[in-house]
Amino acid sequence: MNISLRNKILRLFLGLMILSSIASISSVLIATNKSVERQAQEKLEIGKRVFEQLMQNRAQQLFDSAEVLTADFGFKGAVAQGDQATILSVLENYSARIDADLMMLASLEGVLIARTDTLKQTAQNFPFIHLLERAEAQGGLMTVAMLDGKAYQLVILQVAAPRPVAWAVMGFLLDQPLANQLKSLTSLEVSYTGIGGAQKSFVISTMPEESYVGILNEKMNINDQNSLTNHSHLKRMQFGEDEYLSLYASLVETSKYKVNALLSTSLSEARANFSRLKIQILVVSVISLIASVIGAFFISRNVTRPINSLVSAAQRISGGDYSVDLPLSKNTKDEISILASSFNLMQKGISQREAQILHQAYHDTLTGLPNRMLATQEIMRLIKACRESEECFVLMSMNINRFKQINDTFGYQTGDGLLKAFSERLGAVNKGQNFCARLGADEFLLLIKGSDQLDFPPMIEHSVQCLSESYFINDFEVTISLRAGVAIFPLHGDQTGQLLRRTEIALNDAKQKKRDLQFYEEGSDAIHLNRIRLINDLKQAIKSNHLVMYYQPKVDLKVRRVTQAEALIRWFHKELGFISPEEFIGLAEQAGLMPALTRWVLKTVIEELSSWLKDGFDIVMAVNLSAYDLAHDDLPEYIDGLLAQNKVPATHLILEVTESAVIEEPEQAMNVLHRFKKSGIKLAIDDYGTGYSSLGQLKSMPVDELKIDKSFVLKLDQDKDDQVIVRSTIEMGHNIGMTVVAEGVETKAAWDLLEEYGCDKLQGYYISKPQAASDFLLWYSSYQVDD
Amino acid sequence: MNSLYWSRLFIRIFILLGASLSLPIWAYDFQVVDQNGEAVKNAVVSIPEGTIDLITAEPAVMDQVQRQFVPFVLAVEKGREVVFPNSDNIRHHVYSFSKPKNFQIKLYKGVPKQPLRFDQEGVVVLGCNIHDSMIGYIFVSPWPNFQVTSENGQVSFKANSKELAVWHPWMLGQDKPQNFLVSDLEKSNFKIQLQLTPPKPIKKLKSKFKKYYGN
C-alpha cells in the first residue's frame, strides 16, 4: 500500500491523539470512580465513628441509669425483701426516666422476678439467662441481645444488698427512630439486621423496604467483629436500582442469634455528581482531538510541501534541467531547508560535472579543441544554416608533416606543447571567427564561413601561412610544414559525412601528390571508394589464389642463353580485369597487406621454382621485395624455411629491392639484407637510376646485381644521353664488382648497344614479355639467342 | 506428738466414761478448714444445745474501721445488744435487710446513742449504703456456747454434745449453720471442712464501655 508521507503523519498524529484522549478520559474515569469509592469510604468511616459514638452514648445512658437503679437503697431493700410490687414500681419509674424500652429483674439463679415490657409478671423464664454467666464473670454486662424478634442494647448489673441478690437488666431497642436519627447525623443509610433461629429475624433500615429485601441473605464475612475500621468489611451491594458501598459491623453473634449493623452510602448517587465532570472532560477531549487533527493537517502540509517541492526538483534534475534553484527560507535552519540547499548544491555540481563530461565528450582533452563528434554536429548545423542563408563554407583538414619525427626529436612534452600552441593559433586564425577541431593525433580541421567561394583561397592561404610560422616550445624553435585537404560546401558536397570524407580524400591526395594544399577533385571520391573496394578484393584474392605469378626471362650475354627469370605478380580482377601491380601494391602497402602478399608471392614462386628445378630447368629466380618487406625482421627466416622446405638452393634466388626501399629505414634494411646475403641469397638493386642513392651507399650494400631502370633503356638507340648514362653505369657497376642487368630491352638496336657496352644480362619485350609459368616453360624450351 | 498423745488418752477416757454415763464430757481442739485444707477464719462454731440465760453482758461491738466492718463476723447470743461505733472520720449508713434484724442507722459519726438488740436468731448481713464494699455479718446464735475462729481456724470446746454447728458467710445456703457429728470429727482428726465460695471481687463495668456491643 502506498501511503503518502502526509497521510502517514496525519495518521500518526491522529492515532496518538486518540490514544492520549482515551488514556486521559479513562484515567479520569478511573480516578473519579476511585474518588467516588474513596469518598464513599471516607463517608462511611465518618459515619461509623458517629454511629459508634451514638451507640456508646446510649450505652452510657443505660449504664448510668442501671447503676443508679442498683444503688437505690429503697430498691435494694425491696429486692432484698422480695417486695414484688415495689420492685416493679421502681423499675417502671426508672424505665420512664430514661425512656428505656426494657427493664427486668432476675434472681441470681436466673429466675425472672419482674419485667416492665409485658404484663405477664410470673411464670416466665428470664430470657437473658444465657448472659448471666458472663455478667457474673465481668461484674456486669453491656451487650446487644435479641428478644422476640427485636434487638436491644442491654446493660445487666447486679443488685447488691449488700450481698448480690439479683440481676437488673435495662435495654434500649434498636429501632427505626434510632436508625433515622443515625441517618440524620451521618447521612448514611443505616440498617440493623437480626437473624435468629427460634427468634424472628428482622430488618430495620432507613432505606425503602423494597430495596433491602435481600439484605438478610447477604453474607457478611467479618473477621474482626468488634471493629468497623477494617476496610475488608466494605462490601458493594445492590439495593434496588442503586449500588451501595456498605460497612458492616457485627453487634452481637451468639449461637442463637446474630445482630448486625450496616452503614451504606449510594455509589450511584456519588457517581451522578461526577457525571457532569465526565461530560466536560469528554467535550474537552473531543475539542482537543479536533484541534489536533487540524494541527496535524497543517503540520503535515508544512512538512510535506517542501518535500514535495524537493521531489519535483529531483524529478526535474533527473530530466536534466538544472536551471531552477529551490527557494530557500532565509531564517530557518531546519532539515528541510538544509536539504533544499544541498539539493541546490547537488544540482549545481551535477550540471557542472555534466558540462565537464559533455565538454570531454565533444572536446579533445589535450588541446581543449572540439573533437570529431562536435565537429560533425557543427558541420551539420552549419550546413542547415548555410542552406537557408545561401552562404558557403570551406572545410580544411590539416596534417602536421613528420609530427612523429618532431615527437621523437624534441620529446613528447614538446610535441604536446606544439599541439597546444598549434590549437591556440588555429583558434585565433581569422580573428577567431572560425570553427576548428582536432580530428586525430596530428590532424586538425578548420571551418571557414563565407558568402562567396572565391573568397576562400586567400583565407586558406593566410591560415596556412599563419599556422606554418615557427613555434617556440620549451625554448625550442619548432618549424613545421602543413599539408591540407580542402572541400567546399556546397561545391564539393552538401552532406556532413560526404564533406568530411572529401576533405580527407583531398588530404590523402595532397600526401600522395606531395602537395601542401589540395582541393577536392571531382571523381577522387570514386577513386577513393574504388581503392577501398580493391583493398577488400585484394584480401580475398590473396586468400583464394586469384593472384598469378608471371615470369620474364633474363638473357645472360656471356653464355648467350636464358639463365634467370623475374617473377612478377599479376591480378586479373573478375570485373575490373587486369590491375597493374603498381596500383594494387600501393593499396596493399596502405592497407597493411604487404606482409601477407609478400609471403604469398615467395611461397608461390619458390614452390614453382622447386618444380622447375626438379624438371631440369636450371633457372635462377628473381623476386621483388618492397620497403615494407625489408622492415620485417622475420622475413629472412621465413625465406630460409621456404627454401629448405622446397629443397631449393639459396643461390637460385635473387631478391630485388629498390633504392628507395633501403633509404626509408636504412639500418633496418641493411641488417635484413646482410642476413639474406649470409643465407647465400643474391641481391639486386632494382630500378637503378630513379632514386637518389649515392655511390657510397650503393657500395656499402651487400648487392650482387644492378638493374638499370627501363626508362634509360627503352629509347637507348635514339637518346645519346641515355647511352652515356647506361654505358657509364655499366662500367661503374662492373668496377664495384657487380653484374649489370638492363631492363626494358625492346629492340635489336638496344640489345646490340648493350652488348657493345658489356652489359651482363638483358630483360625486355625484345626477348619475351612476362608469361604464366606453363607458357614461360614452353617458351624457354624453344628459345635460341640469335647470333 | 505430745498433744496427739494426750488426745488419744482423752479419747480412751471419754470412751470409758461414755460407756458408763451415756453422755460423756469431751474437751477437744477443732480446726476449721476449707475445701483446700486451708485454715478458715471468721467461722462461727457452736455447740447446738442449751438455752440462753438472762443476758447481763455489755453490748457487743461491731466497729467500722477504714470502711470495713470489724469484726467481719460478730457472733452474739440471741437478745444481745450490739453497738455500731464509727471509727472512721467519714459517715456511714449501716443497714441490713436481713429478716432477723431489718434496720438502718442513717448517716452518723461516732457511737450511736442506742445499741440495737438482736433478739431473733439468724444471720444479719450488714451493709453500708454509702460504701458498697462494706459487708459485715452478725450471727445471732440461739445457743450460748459458740466461738469465732481466728486466723488459725481453731476453736476449743469442752462439752458432751454429739454435734457441732458451723457457719461461715461464704458457705452455700449462707444463712444456716451446718452440723457436724463430733464422732465424725474425731475420725477426721478434728478437722471441720467447709465448702466455701468467696465472693467475686466487685469489678467496675465502666472500663468496658467501649465494648458495649461486644460478645
Do both A601 and A516 map to the same domain?
Answer: no
Q: Which of A155, A162, A251 minimises the CB distance to B132?
A: A162
Q: Return d(Cα B178, Cα B168) in angstroms, integer.
A: 9
Q: Which tens digit of pLDDT belongs to each residue from A244-303?
A: 888 887 788 787 888 888 888 888 877 787 778 778 888 888 888 888 888 878 887 777
Cell for A202? 428482622
Report the pLDDT value the prediction gives residue B214, as an integer from 0 to 100: 38
Domains for chain B: give ranges and CATH numbers.
31-194 (2.60.40.420)
For residue A690, name the pLDDT band (cuts at 50, 70, 90): confident
Q: Is A412 on the interface with B (CB under 8 A)?
A: no
Do both A602 and A466 map to the same domain?
Answer: no
pTM above 0.80, yes or no: no
Do both A508 and A614 map to the same domain?
Answer: no
Buried/exposed code over B126-164 (b: 16+ C-beta within 10 A; e: otherwise): bbbbebeebbbbbbbbbbebbbbbeeebbbebebbbebb
Tell if the CB–CB gap between A59 and B205 is shorter than 8 Å. no
Q: Return d(Cα A683, Cα A673) in angstroms, integer.
A: 8
Q: Does a structural domain hold residue A613?
A: yes
Coil, helix or strand at residue A144: strand
Do both A769 and A670 map to the same domain?
Answer: yes
DSSP secondary structure letter of residue A331: S
Q: Return d(Cα A111, Cα A491) in angstroms, integer.
A: 161
Domain with residue A676: its CATH number is 3.20.20.450
From A268, A301, A329, the end of a domain falls on A268
Q: Does a structural domain hold residue A296?
A: no
Do both A139 and A75 map to the same domain?
Answer: yes
Q: Which residues in chain B touch residue A225, judged by CB atoms under 8 angstroms apart?
A: 215
From A227, A252, A268, the end of a domain falls on A268
Tell if the CB–CB gap between A81 and B213 is shorter than 8 Å. no
Q: Return d(Cα A573, Cα A577) in angstroms, integer.
A: 4
Closest CA to A166 of A87, A97, A94: A87
Name the residue of chain B whose CA is nearest to A134's CA. Answer: B215
Domain with residue A169: its CATH number is 3.30.450.20
Gap from B204 CA to chain A (nearest CA, Å): 7
Picking from A142, A167, A254, A258 by the largest number of B CB atoms within 10 A of its own CB, the best residue to mutate is A142
Closest CA to A40 of A235, A249, A239, A280: A235
Buried/exposed code over A399-426 (b: 16+ C-beta within 10 A; e: otherwise): bbeebeebbeebeeebbebbbbbbbebb
Report the pLDDT value the prediction gives residue B46, as an integer from 0 to 100: 92
Q: Return d(Cα A111, Cα A129) in angstroms, integer.
A: 8
In this prediction, residues B136-153 reach a mean pLDDT of: 92
Parallel, antiparallel, or unpaired for β A443-450 and A471-473?
Answer: unpaired
Q: Does a structural domain hold residue A370?
A: yes
Alpha helices, DSSP H, located in A634-738: 635-646, 659-664, 666-679, 695-700, 710-713, 720-735
Tell if the CB–CB gap between B135 and A162 is shorter than 8 Å. yes
Tell if the CB–CB gap between B208 and A142 is shorter than 8 Å. yes
Report the pLDDT value the prediction gives residue A620, as an integer from 0 to 100: 93
Tell if the CB–CB gap between A142 and B129 is shorter than 8 Å. no
Q: What is the CA radius of gyration of chain B?
A: 20
Report the pLDDT value the prediction gives residue B212, as an integer from 0 to 100: 43
For residue A477, name the pLDDT band (cuts at 50, 70, 90): confident
Q: Is the pLDDT of residue B22 over 60?
A: no
Picking from B62, B101, B130, B205 by the largest number of A CB atoms within 10 A of its own CB, the best residue to mutate is B205
Q: Cα dist. B95→A107, A389, A637, B125 in Å? A: 21, 164, 176, 8
In this prediction, residues A361-379 reach a mean pLDDT of: 85
Structural domain of A166: 21-268
Q: Which residues in chain A touch residue B206, judged by CB atoms under 8 angstroms apart?
A: 63
ipTM more than 0.85?
no
Report the pLDDT value the prediction gives residue A430, as an integer from 0 to 100: 67
Q: Is the pLDDT of residue B66 over 50?
A: yes
Q: Which tens digit of pLDDT belongs to each residue from A632-675?
A: 778 888 999 999 999 999 999 999 988 877 777 778 888 888 99
Report the pLDDT value the prediction gives residue A387, as an integer from 0 to 100: 84
Do both A516 and A598 map to the same domain?
Answer: no
Q: Which tens digit of pLDDT belongs to each residue from A175-233?
A: 888 889 888 888 888 888 888 766 578 888 888 777 776 666 665 544 444 444 444 46
* Sheet strands side by side (includes B80-83): B60-61, B80-83, B116-118
Whether residue B71 is preceded by a cis peptide bond, meaning omega within 30 degrees of 0, is yes
Is there a contact between A568 and A551 (Cβ–Cβ < 8 Å)?
Answer: yes
Q: Does a structural domain hold residue A589?
A: no
Q: Is A140 on the interface with B (CB under 8 A)?
A: yes
Q: Return d(Cα A176, Cα A192) in angstroms, integer.
A: 9
Report the pLDDT value the prediction gives residue B211, as an integer from 0 to 100: 45
Q: Which tens digit of pLDDT belongs to each residue from A313-360?
A: 888 888 877 777 777 766 667 777 787 788 888 888 888 888 888 888
Q: Which residues in chain B touch residue A55, judged by CB atoms under 8 angstroms apart?
A: 212-213
Q: Is the pLDDT of residue B18 over 80?
A: no
Percent of chain A with pLDDT over 70: 94
Gap from B101 CA to chain A (nearest CA, Å): 12
Gap from B212 CA to chain A (nearest CA, Å): 5
Q: Is A55 on the interface with B (CB under 8 A)?
A: yes
The listed range with the strongest mean pLDDT (A68-72, A541-545, B29-33) is B29-33
Gap from B146 CA to chain A (nearest CA, Å): 25
Do both A564 and A442 map to the same domain?
Answer: no
Name the residue of chain A whose CA is nearest to B170's CA. Answer: A163
Q: Which of B134, B205, B209 minimises the CB distance to A162?
A: B134
Domains: count for chain A: 3
Q: Is A77 on the interface with B (CB under 8 A)?
A: yes
Name the residue of chain A whose CA is nearest to B133's CA. Answer: A162
Report the pLDDT value the prediction gives residue A551, as an integer from 0 to 100: 94
Q: Which of A63, A162, A254 minimises the CB distance to B205?
A: A63
Q: Return d(Cα A768, Cα A772) in angstroms, integer.
A: 12
DSSP secondary structure string for all residues of A252-306: EE-SSEEEEEEEEEEHHHHHHHHHHHHHHHHHHHHHHHHHHHHHHHHHHHHHHHH
For residue B43, name the pLDDT band (cuts at 50, 70, 90): very high
Is there a contact between B142 and B53 (Cβ–Cβ < 8 Å)?
Answer: no
Please give the residue that has the higher pLDDT: either A703 or A281: A703
The rounded mean pLDDT for chain A is: 83
Q: Which of A139, A249, A254 minimises the CB distance to B200?
A: A139
Do both A617 and A716 map to the same domain?
Answer: yes
Q: Is the pLDDT of residue B215 over 60?
A: no
In this prediction, residues B75-91 reach a mean pLDDT of: 89
Gap from B125 CA to chain A (nearest CA, Å): 7
Tell if the CB–CB gap between A138 and B203 is shorter than 8 Å. yes
For residue A119, name the pLDDT band (cuts at 50, 70, 90): low
Q: Does a structural domain hold residue A177?
A: yes
Q: Is the pLDDT of residue B112 over 80?
A: no
Give me the phi and psi of A554, to 5 degrees please: -120, 135
DSSP secondary structure string for all residues of A698-722: HHHS---EEEE-HHHHTTTTT-HHH
Closest CA to A578 of A533, A542, A532, A546: A546
Give me the phi and psi of B9, to 5 degrees please: -60, -45
Q: Is B126 on the interface with A (CB under 8 A)?
A: yes
Q: Does a structural domain hold residue A629?
A: yes
Closest CA to A54 of A173, A175, A181: A181
In this prediction, residues A488-493 reach a mean pLDDT of: 82
Q: Is the pLDDT of residue B55 over 80?
A: no
Q: Which tens digit of pLDDT belongs to each residue from A408-440?
A: 888 888 888 888 888 888 888 767 678 888 888
Domain with residue A410: its CATH number is 3.30.70.270
Report the pLDDT value the prediction gives residue A198, as an integer from 0 to 100: 60
Do both A33 and A71 map to the same domain?
Answer: yes
Q: Does a structural domain hold residue A488?
A: yes
Tell if the CB–CB gap between A252 and B215 is shorter than 8 Å. yes
From A268, A301, A328, the end of a domain falls on A268
The listed range with the strongest mean pLDDT (A87-96, A285-294, B69-78) is B69-78
- Number of inter-chain CB pairs under 8 A, A vs B: 83
Do both A632 and A509 map to the same domain?
Answer: no
Tell if the CB–CB gap between A252 and B126 is shorter than 8 Å. no
> HSE on the CB side for B67, CA within 13 Å?
7
Name the residue of chain A whose CA is nearest to B134's CA. Answer: A162
3-class SS shares of chain A: helix, strand, coil, % to 5: 55, 20, 25
Do both A88 and A179 map to the same domain?
Answer: yes
Tell if the CB–CB gap between B203 and A136 is shorter than 8 Å. no
Amino acid at A214: G
Is there a contact between A153 and A139 (Cβ–Cβ < 8 Å)?
Answer: no
Q: Is A226 on the interface with B (CB under 8 A)?
A: yes
The listed range with the strongest mean pLDDT (A361-365, A384-388, A688-692, B64-68) is B64-68
Q: Which residues in chain B touch residue A164, judged by CB atoms under 8 angstroms apart?
A: 199
Could you tell me which residues come within 8 angstroms of residue A101 by beta carbon, excluding any fewer than 6 positions away? A117, A152, A171, A172, A173, A175
Q: Return d(Cα A142, Cα A140) in angstroms, integer.
A: 7
Tell if the CB–CB gap between B126 and A136 is shorter than 8 Å. no
Q: Is A54 on the interface with B (CB under 8 A)?
A: no
Cell for A710? 627501363
Q: Does a structural domain hold residue A573?
A: no
Distant-in-sequence contacts of A237-243, Cβ < 8 A, 24+ apart = A237/A264, A239/A189, A239/A207, A239/A211, A239/A212, A239/A215, A239/A264, A240/A207, A240/A208, A240/A210, A240/A211, A241/A268, A242/A211, A242/A266, A242/A267, A242/A268, A242/A269, A243/A267, A243/A268
